[in-house]
Chain A
Amino acid sequence: MEENRKYESYLKRTHFFGRILTTVVLLLLLAAPFVIGLYLKAMPDIPAAMKAFLGVGLVYLVSGIVEYLIYVPMLGAGGSYLAFITGNLINMKIPCAINARDIVGVKSGTPENEIISTLSIATSSLVTILVLALGVVLMIPLQPVLQSPTLQPAFENVVPALFGAMACKYYRADKKVALVVLAVMTLLFTLVPSLIGSTSMMVIPSGALAIALSYMSFRKKKAQEGGQK
């Protein structure tokens, strides 16, 4: 009984601190570009940012909601507050927390899971912060090398480099959908080259087409499964 009461009060305080600290971090992150703006004497262009948000940001609004719904049950309260503050969920926090849970053998939704996943996510976040801080300190003497004109083509092509890697990763999941969407979008950009300058806006029709095609094949698969039963 006493233990239960202690745990309840622990959870209550976790939510209390979690909410306050998440709000503070959120405000700090949103304020930072304006503080940097004071130093650079140039404030963010909000209308331009909102235009870009409509293109690429909506994707992350949806994926943010999906991540929240899926991962909170796995991580518990404390782990979720930390994970959403520190990010890198799919590539680190989730597998790390699952690994920790497997090591000690606890189940989702239990008080033990709450403790273990908070410990796991806090530790992994601290390691990332430490590794990055060390790396950044070591990078300072390398700054002139990184800024040399010889290396500029490398940094100017960071975006194509990202999309190439991602194409290989995601196209494998559904080659048919990928091929159709790529063909349609290529045709569009070839016939109306002025659209190339606003590729981030073209993500909307491209994404909608991919989702529609995937939904059709998903329904077809479900219907076939139903037929077999």
Chain B
Amino acid sequence: MELLSKLNSPVLYLICGGIVLFVAVICVVFAVRAYRMGKAMGIDVGKMKRVITASATFAVLPSVGILLGVIALSGSLGTPWPWLRLSVIGALHYETQVAEAAAEAAGTGGLSIANMTPGAFTTIAFLMSFCIIWGMVLMIFNGKTYTKKLQAPQEKKEKKEGKKKGLDLAGFGDTAMTAMFIGLVSAYIASYIGTIISGSGVFTFTGSWLPLAVAVVSALAMAVFIKLKEKFGAEWLDSFSVAGSMLVAMTAAIFLGKLV
């Protein structure tokens, strides 16, 4: 508990808040430059204002969803660090997975404040920062070249041979991404089943069933979200589905935990 109050100390708020503020300034600078350039190019000011209003209203709901993610992670990592991670660069599913893997490698057995040590926390924080840098790295080293290539005349691109093959591979790209996530999720769900069956000795069936039960509740909640979305065409529910399902399952864990 002492560590958790350190993780919620003003020093951490200052470090994380400073970076968040810096990123906010970058956003303002880019927005002002784009607005001025748009005006100079003769883009209708009314249109640009509509884009700003629409984007702001569009972002409110997903942002509340992201805030729920901060709450979900705050119990094990304190509030400032998840706040930074989810304000800048991050995404809830990414942060939780990477934090769990780092916790495992740091020897705490999993993402839990009960076993957290200062060393484990900084290792987790480092891995969370490191694993997701690739988009930024590519933008720094290749962004200029890549965006220039995209501006090249369309006909040239179409003449290129092997285009069809490229499209085929791009088609598999999406499938491969989904498959990768199926593999990732399956490894964890299987480990929960394995824990029940062989967690306290091969085929003893005495391991904890709580993680699997929580996962099942979360999956059911997600199924409800998906059904509601499909039935009422409520696309906005997508912004809440993952964080919402997690919070339902985490609440269930409090009650299920008493039964274990």
CA distance A36 to B181 in the complex (A): 31
Contacts of A52 in B (CB 8 A): 98, 101-102, 104-106, 127
Contacts of B26 in A (CB 8 A): 21, 25, 82, 85
Among B3, B135, B175, B218, which residue has its beta carbon within 8 angstroms of that of A84?
A: B135
Known contacts A26-B133, A99-B55, A10 near B37 by CB under 8 Å: yes
Interface pair A155/B250, CB less than 8 Å apart: yes
As a 0/1 sequence over residues 39 to 57 of chain A, the CB contacts with chain B under 8 angstroms (1 = contact) are 1111111101101110111
Contacts of A83 in B (CB 8 A): 135
Interface pair B180/A210, CB less than 8 Å apart: yes
Interface pair A60/B94, CB less than 8 Å apart: yes
Contacts of B112 in A (CB 8 A): 155-156
Main secondary structure of the interface of A (DSSP, over half): helix
Central interface residue in B64, B100, B197, B220, by most chain A CB within 10 Å: B100
As a 0/1 sequence over residues 221 to 242 of chain B, the CB contacts with chain A under 8 angstroms (1 = contact) are 1110010000000000011011
Interface pair B104/A200, CB less than 8 Å apart: yes
Contacts of B33 in A (CB 8 A): 10, 13-14, 78, 118
CA distance A134 to B180 in the complex (A): 35
Contacts of B118 in A (CB 8 A): 37, 40-42
CA distance A146 to B48 in the complex (A): 42
As a 0/1 sequence over residues 1 to 27 of chain A, the CB contacts with chain B under 8 angstroms (1 = contact) are 001001100100111011101111110
Interface pair A181/B186, CB less than 8 Å apart: yes
CA distance A95 to B110 in the complex (A): 34
Among B37, B70, B180, B217, which residue has its beta carbon within 8 angstroms of that of A136?
A: B70
Interface pair A19/B101, CB less than 8 Å apart: no
Interface pair B66/A88, CB less than 8 Å apart: yes
Interface pair B19/A155, CB less than 8 Å apart: no
Known contacts A26-B136, A103-B51, A55 near B246 by CB under 8 Å: no
CA distance A225 to B151 in the complex (A): 33
Interface pair B105/A22, CB less than 8 Å apart: no
Interface pair B172/A218, CB less than 8 Å apart: yes
Q: Residue of B at shortest CB range from A31? A: B129
Interface pair A164/B216, CB less than 8 Å apart: yes
Interface residues of A in 163-195 (CB under 8 A from B): 163-174, 177-178, 181-182, 185-186, 188-191, 193, 195
Known contacts A52-B104, A116-B51, A161-B253, A186 near B194 by CB under 8 Å: yes
Interface residues of B in 4-45 (CB under 8 A from A): 4, 6, 8-9, 11-12, 15-17, 19-20, 22-24, 26-31, 33-35, 37-38, 40-43
Interface pair A126/B89, CB less than 8 Å apart: no
Interface residues of B in 48-103 (CB under 8 A from A): 48, 50-52, 54-56, 58-60, 62-67, 70-76, 79-81, 83-84, 86-94, 96-98, 100-102
Among B91, B144, B172, which residue has its beta carbon within 8 angstroms of that of A88?
A: B91
Interface pair A167/B67, CB less than 8 Å apart: no
Interface pair B242/A32, CB less than 8 Å apart: no
Interface residues of B in 237-260 (CB under 8 A from A): 238-239, 241-242, 245-247, 249-251, 253-254, 256-257
Contacts of B251 in A (CB 8 A): 154
CA distance A156 to B112 in the complex (A): 5
As a 0/1 sequence over residues 113 to 136 of chain B, the CB contacts with chain A under 8 angstroms (1 = contact) are 110011111110111011111111
Interface pair A132/B87, CB less than 8 Å apart: yes
Q: Does A227 contact B (CB under 8 A)?
A: no
Interface pair B54/A103, CB less than 8 Å apart: yes
Question: Apart from A39-B15, A122-B30, A164-B218, what 8 extra A-B contacts exist at CB < 8 Å?
Answer: A44-B125, A81-B30, A104-B51, A158-B73, A164-B216, A188-B190, A193-B199, A206-B187
Shortest beta-carbon contacts, A-B, top 8: A189-B194, A155-B75, A164-B218, A64-B134, A207-B183, A164-B215, A153-B257, A185-B190
Listed by A's residue number, 8 A-B pairs whose Cβ atoms lie within 8 Å are A15-B144, A84-B136, A85-B26, A91-B239, A153-B253, A157-B250, A162-B96, A164-B249
